[in-house]
Structure 1
C-alpha cells in the first residue's frame, strides 16, 4: 500500500470513529508503529489531525485567522449565540472571551439588559460601547493579533481581581477526553484564568469545534457547566458530555 493511500485511510477512519490509535492502525495496515507515527506527524503538519498520546483526534477547523473563522458555520453560530444570550440575567457580572461566536453573542443582548461585562477583547468592548445599560470593564495587556484579544502579565493581573457570575469561554476544540483546547499557548492560559474566576463557565460550541482538539489545552471538560450547541447536533454525540454532568442547551 502506498503511503498516500494509507494516510487517506487513516483520515477516513478518523472521520468515522472520532479517534485513531497508533497500535490499532499498525495492526490494521501491517506496518510498524513508527511508520504510523510518521504518518500522523505528517498529517498533523498539514493540519488534518491533532496528535495525542497514543494516536490522534480530529483537528479543529477553528484555529484559522479571525477573519476566516467568521465564515465558518455562521448561521449555526448566530443561533447558538442567541440562545447563549438568554442565559444571562440582569445584574450579573459576565466575563466574555474573544471570538467570532461571542462577537455574535453580544448582538443579542436586549437594550434594557443591565449588567457588567468584563472582557479582554477590544472587539467585544467596542461592540458594547453604545449599549445604554451595560458597564464594560476592559482587561488590558498585549494585543494578540490572531484572535484580537489581550494577553500577558497585565491581563492575568486584571483577571485576578474579578469575581464573575458567568464566563462565556471561546474554544477551538471541545472533546470529552481531550478537554477544552485552543490554538495558542498564551490564550489557553488566559482562558483558564478567566474560568477560575467565574462561578459558571458556558461554552458556545459551533459544530466545527465539537469532538475536536487543538494543540494547547485549556483544561479538563469538567471546567464546563453548560454547553450550547446547534439544534441539529446528534443526541448520541452529546451523551458523553451529559454523562459528565454538563448541561446541554440546544439552539
Structure 2
C-alpha cells in the first residue's frame, strides 16, 4: 500500500514485512533529490558504528539531506532505541536492553547482507536446514530462495519470506509468538523440533564470547535454539563483528558447539584466530 501527503511531499510504503520504508523528496534549485528513508537510517547507523557519535550537521553533509530531514531521522531512530538523540546529533545506545526488531534490522545492515549471502551460498542442495529468527539469519533468504532445500524454522518472518519459494519445503514450528523477534517459543515449538534430524542449523545470536559462549536476551528463545541445535549435525553461527565479546543473560550453548562462524571483516584477524584456536572455522566476509 502506498499513501501520500500532498502537503509534505512525503510518501510511505509498507511493502516489506520487516521495516517501514519511506521516500522523502527535497527540492533544491528545481532539482528533485530522492533517497529512501531506510537507506538514510542504514547510513546513519553505519556512521555511528564507525564513530560512536555524530552530529546532525555532519550527517546532513554526508547524506546530502536537509538538517530538518536528518533531525527527523534521528528522532525516529531514537524512538526505536537504535540510537540516543543528543543536543546536535546522536550517539550509540547502551546495549543492555534488547532493541526493537526494526532497529535491529537496520544496524550493520551491509555487513549482515554479506554474512547472510555467504552462509546461504555455503548450504548444499537437498539438505534439511534449521534456523531461528534474527536479522542476520533473515539476510540469508535471498541466497537460498532458488535452492532445493527443506527448512524448519521458528521464525514467522522467514517462513513468510519463503512462502513463494517453490523449491523449498518450509516447516514453521508452532508455539507462542515472541513478538520482539517474531519467533515461536515454548513446548509446542520444542516438541516439533525433537522429531527433526537437521543437517545444518544456522543460528543468530546476541553475544559471542570465548568463555561465556553463545548468549541472547531471552531464556525461552535460548532454550528453543538449544533444542534445535541438539537435533543438528552442524551448527553455523551468523553474527556481525559487534556481537563478539558480548555476554547476555541467557546462555544458548557453549562456544565449542559451533562448527562455523560467519562474520564480517570488522572483526580483526587477530580476534578471529582466537576463535579458530577453539576448533571453529571462522569466515570473515
Aligned to 1:181: 215
Q: Which runs of 4+ in 1 moved over 4 A?
A: 59-62
Q: Tell me how far apart the structure 2 counterparts of residues 61 and 205 of structure 1 sit (CA, whole Å).
A: 17
Greater share of helix residues, 1 or 2? 1
With normalisation by structure 2, the TM-score equals 0.65
| 2:152 counterpart of 1:121 | no
Aligned to 1:103: 138
| 2:278 counterpart of 1:247 | no
Provide structure 2 residue ranges, at least 5 long, that are not aligned to the other structure: 1-93
Aligned to 2:247: 213
Q: Tell me how far apart the structure 2 counterparts of residues 62 and 131 of structure 1 sit (CA, whole Å).
A: 35
- Summarize the Cα distance change of 1:220–1:141 in structure 2 as closer, same or farther, 3 Å threshold: same
**Is the contact made by 2:241 and 2:265 (CA closer than 8 Å) also made in structure 1?**
no
- Equivalent pairs, count: 192
**Is the contact made by 1:230 and 1:250 (CA closer than 8 Å) also made in structure 2?**
yes
After superposition, what is the alpha-carbon deviation per residue over 1:174-218, rounded to whole angstroms, capped at 9, x for unaligned? Answer: 111110000001001011111101000000111221111111111
Provide structure 1 residue ranges, at least 5 long, that are not aligned to the other structure: 1-58
| 2:183 counterpart of 1:149 | yes
Greater share of strand residues, 1 or 2? 2
With normalisation by structure 1, the TM-score equals 0.74
Which residue of 220, 224, 244 corresponds with 2:258? 224
Q: Larger RCO: Structure 1 or Structure 2 (Cα < 8 Å, ≥ 6 residues apart)?
A: 1
- 1:233 is displaced (CA, Å) by 2.0
* Backbone CA RMSD of aligned residues: 1.4
Which residue of 196, 202, 225 corresponds with 1:191? 225
